[in-house]
C-alpha cells in the first residue's frame, strides 16, 4: 500500500513536469535531433533521477544538507553545466538548405544520468519527497520506494517533453524560426542556472 502512495506520485509528477533543466534540455533535444536520437538522453535522465531520489532515502540527502560546502560545490557544477548547454543551444545551427539534421550531438545516456547528481531541482524534489512522504520503512526500502516512484513518473514526463520537442521540428523548418526557438530554449536554460542559487 505505501509503495504506491498517490500523494507521493502526485508530488513527484508536479515537481518533475514543471520547467527545469531536464524539461528544457529534452524539449530542445527532441526538436534538434528528433525523438529517436534523444532516447539515450531521455533514458539517462530517467535512470539518473531514480538513483538520485533513491539515495536520498538512504540518507545521502541529509549528508548533503548537513554539509553547506558540498551543497555549494554541487550548485556551482550544476550552474556551469547548465550554462554550457545554454551556450550550445544559443549557437546551435542547422546544415544548409532543407536538411533538418542539427550539426551537434545529443547527450549520451551516461552524461544525462550523471547530470542528475548535480541537478539541484531533482535534489530539491527528492529531499522534499523523502521528508514529506516517508513511509517509515528501512532506509533500503525507502530508497527503493523513492527511486521507483521518481523513475516511473519521470519516464512519462520525459516522453511527453521529448515528443513535444520532436513535434516542433515541423514548425521550425524556417531557419529564422529555428534560431529563435533555440535561443528561447537557451535563455530558459540559462535562467534555470541562476535559479540554482535561489
Report CA-CA distances (Å) from 3 to 6, 118, 125, 144. 9, 27, 18, 9
Residue-wise pLDDT tens digits, 126-170: 887 887 777 778 888 888 999 999 999 999 999 999 999 999 887
CA distance linking residue 178 with residue 46, whole number of Å: 27
CA distance linking residue 194 with residue 102, whole number of Å: 27
Residue whose C-alpha is closest to residue 185's, from 50, 7, 17, 19: 19
The domain ranges of the chain are 2-195
Which range (25-29, 77-81, 140-144) has the least confidence? 77-81
Contacts of 86 by beta carbon, 8 Å cutoff, 6+ apart: 186, 187, 189, 190, 193
Average pLDDT (57-75) is 76
pTM of the full predicted structure? 0.79
Query: Please, what is the Cα angle at 32 between 176 and 45, to 5 degrees?
Result: 145
Which range (37-41, 61-65, 153-157, 170-174) has the least confidence? 61-65
Average pLDDT (4-18) is 86
Average pLDDT (1-13) is 79
The C-alpha cell of 106 is what? 545529443
What pLDDT was estimated at residue 81? 79
Amino acid at each position: 500500500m505505501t509503495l504506491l502512495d498517490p500523494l507521493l506520485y502526485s508530488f513527484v509528477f508536479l515537481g518533475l513536469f514543471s520547467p527545469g533543466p531536464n524539461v528544457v534540455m529534452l524539449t530542445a533535444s527532441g526538436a534538434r535531433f528528433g525523438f529517436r536520437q534523444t532516447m539515450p538522453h531521455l533514458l539517462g535522465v530517467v535512470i539518473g533521477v531514480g538513483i538520485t531520489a533513491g539515495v536520498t532515502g538512504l540518507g545521502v540527502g541529509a549528508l548533503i544538507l548537513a554539509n553547506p560546502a558540498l551543497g555549494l560545490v554541487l550548485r556551482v557544477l550544476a550552474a556551469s553545466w547548465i550554462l554550457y548547454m545554454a551556450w550550445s543551444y544559443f549557437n546551435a545551427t542547422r546544415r544548409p538548405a532543407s536538411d533538418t539534421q542539427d550539426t551537434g550531438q545529443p547527450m549520451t545516456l551516461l552524461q544525462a544520468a550523471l547530470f542528475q547528481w548535480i541537478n539541484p531541482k531533482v535534489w530539491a524534489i527528492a529531499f522534499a519527497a523523502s521528508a514529506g512522504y516517508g513511509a517509515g520503512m528501512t532506509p533500503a526500502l525507502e530508497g527503493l520506494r523513492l527511486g521507483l516512484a521518481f523513475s516511473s513518473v519521470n519516464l512519462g514526463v520525459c516522453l511527453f517533453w521529448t515528443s513535444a520537442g520532436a513535434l516542433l521540428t515541423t514548425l521550425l523548418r524556417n531557419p529564422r524560426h529555428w534560431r529563435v526557438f533555440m535561443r528561447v530554449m537557451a535563455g530558459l536554460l540559462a535562467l534555470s542556472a541562476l535559479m540554482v542559487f535561489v
